[in-house]
Structure 1
Amino acid sequence: MPTEVAIEDMQKKTQELAFATHQDPADAKMLQMVLQGSVGTTVNQGPLEVAQVFLSEIPSDPKLYRHHNKLRLCFKDFTKRCEDALRKNKSLIGPDQKEYQRELERNYHRLKEALQPLINRKIPQLYKPVLQVTSHRDSFSRMSLRKLDI
């Protein structure tokens, strides 16, 4: 199923970001490579394109709701990890890379803005209130009351 492949792909990208962000000792080159691969202008067509293909329409088949929702949550996690990675990169770079950092941040904000409507739209059917079944049994009539000897 293509949606499952997209989910795995986004989870992999998210894990790479998390790994590069929390690597100890920090590896600025590795972090920037992963960041560039996530938010770079030409590359972000990748994640954005995946989101547009799989999240622009709510599936007509209820069996696909779970995968749709999971992919949506993967993208939320991905954007959060991008933000963490950008913050970490900012703390590692020297003055000579400030412009590069600004470019990465601009690309990230463009990507996040484009993803927002796709990842914030929830499947209404998943959020319908659960029907309450009220029982009209009279539980008192079935209760046995016994006198306790003290």
Structure 2
Amino acid sequence: MSYLKILTNVLLGRNSNITHAIGYIDTGNSLKCSLTRRYVAVANYAVIASLITCDEAAFVDRYIRDCASIYKGNKPMPKGMHIIPYNTICANNQLMLAVDADFMFVDDRYIEKKPLIGISPATFKILHTDKCILLNKKYMKRGKRHVKHNTR
């Protein structure tokens, strides 16, 4: 099976919003949501900000400023958002906020329907671009998957 390139163009859509990002296939990213069993790509704030509503942005902004804010308060989590436990080489038992997207294309290939996009509380850039996403290593093997579209 052929593998995708390490750096890719990524197109994400959510609730009629579409954004483009530079993707990096992160062989160390094996993050999978234990509840939904979906693989998680991790995006920086600029990607997520292009996909969410103003109300959701306030919730995400609080999370970016203080990751523990998702524990605080009585407000329910916005629909389509999840909390995902994860570990890194530097810290264990962390929680990441993630959003449901509608679709994801990597280069010109349809990769995932309803991908789960984690929101990195840390700032990162790839090739000096503002919109970056670390793709799950499982996407490396999905380059051949396509969706049939009705052309009528």
Q: Give the TM-score band, short-chain normalised.
A: under 0.3
- Tell me which structure has the larger Cα radius of gyration: 1
> RCO higher in 1 or 2 (8 Å CA, sep ≥ 6)?
2
The two structures have a TM-score, normalised by structure 1, of 0.24
Where is the strand percentage greater, Structure 1 or Structure 2?
Answer: 2
TM-score (norm 2): 0.24
More helix by share: 1
